[in-house]
Structure 1
Amino acid sequence: MTYTLPPLNALRAFEAAARHLSFKRAAQELHVTPAAVGQQVKALEARLGVRLFERLHKQLILTAAGQSYLPGISDGFRRIADATAQLKPQGAVLLQLGVHGGLDLRRLGLDAFRAGNAEIGLRVLQPAGLHELVEGKVDVLIARSLGHHPGYRCDRIHGETGVDDWLISPEGTADCPEIVSLRNWLRRRSSEAGLAPQRSPHRIGIV
């Protein structure tokens, strides 16, 4: 059987906006801009051929079609989340870590982190950058940057200045236990092993 489905990102934008009745709060949850949420919802409405929201001055209201559509979409996401949770090791919290392509993973000692944090199922995507973090492909990112990204907590891994390696996580999830554990591990690893980056005079900007 072939399922005819709208784009997943558009459905996520609609579901979050419908729960919050706010593009701004939906954007904060999904770690994108309010404009991006609005564009996704508009594209979904165009595809479905119905209006899902009434956009009033400083107020968002579900139309009758939106009210009818929301329960099924929310239930679908819950079922996907439950099915995904069943795939995780018993008691493990999955943490997706993105790492920029210029960093040697051996310097992070992630095998030792996994051994000392059996409750965290750590997976690594390399190379990865801000795009993967914004799109939700990773939960937290080690990026070569200056450490200034509105809406994200940026923690320097090394105690130096200028362009460096930073642990970047959305403000809304920056204090989750698994991210805190990783942050603390990287700080200890940096101080104990001296993880100063190998610099190049031509390496500037953000990876």
Structure 2
Amino acid sequence: MTARRQLPPLATLRAFEAAARHLSFRQAASELGVTPTAISHQIRLLEAMLGQPMFVRHVRRVSLTPAAATLYPVLRTGFDAFADTLAQLRKPAARATVVLTATRLFTARLLVPALGGFTRAHPDIDLHLHASDTPVDLAAGAADIAVRYGTGPFDPLIATPLAAERVGVLCSPSLMIATPADLRRTSLLHSEWIHPVAGPDWATWARLAGMDDLAVESGPRFTDDGHALQAAIAGHGAVLSSLILAAPDIETGLLVHPFGPVITKGGYVIVTTATAADRPDVAAVRDWLVSLVDAPSGP
């Protein structure tokens, strides 16, 4: 059988190690959350057990005796080993994970550029982005929160209006387009919307602008809204697109919104299950989404 160790109380050893490291009873007391008198009591207890002094008391400081100089590095190494081992064994706090699903264009134009800001604001939340133009089943757990376009119905999910869609003329500042009449000298870029009935087109915009002579059927066509925006950024013409999704490019000056009218139709909705809606991490993502969709001001 292993012989029983003859050791002073742990509190005594901790008090001695802290006092020896700081060469101050007062600083040792502050570190351990006790009074200097308590430290002095523990040191006297250790000295009584060892039968010799461990500190030389000066007016405003203490110094180590030869016995203390022998004991201190042993205890320091031991306590450091305790701390390192306990840190390795301590389970890290569980991180929250939120899966956010949105259309490919919404994800690419708004969510991805702003992801760094969310991570800095919420370092304890792992946000997973799921880009899909096909709605996923939130009730089955495929995602925790979604941004969807349209009016629903969304039952039994909880739907919170995010923003009304605003569609307007966008172009590169290099084209020097300042008035609607300038559109007659540039290409009109067309985006084939997934749901054509819901998508404003150049014919609708020209009618609202009173430009019945605008060649609304001419110009390149794209099956992807993002490609149409990229063509506009490259200076290939003017595009009729979402002012919300183009907001990052308007803010950086890659695109300009030189004039109206603006077509408001449809909108974006935040959708969650009733269970997910009560989660603080999902609420943080919901608040972040609201902060992203502030539509740009008028031209």
User: TM-score w.r.t. structure 2 length?
Assistant: 0.30
- Which has the higher relative contact order, 1 or 2, with Cα contacts under 8 A spaced 6 or more apart? 2
- Bigger Rg, structure 1 or 2: 2
TM superposition score normalised by structure 1:
0.43
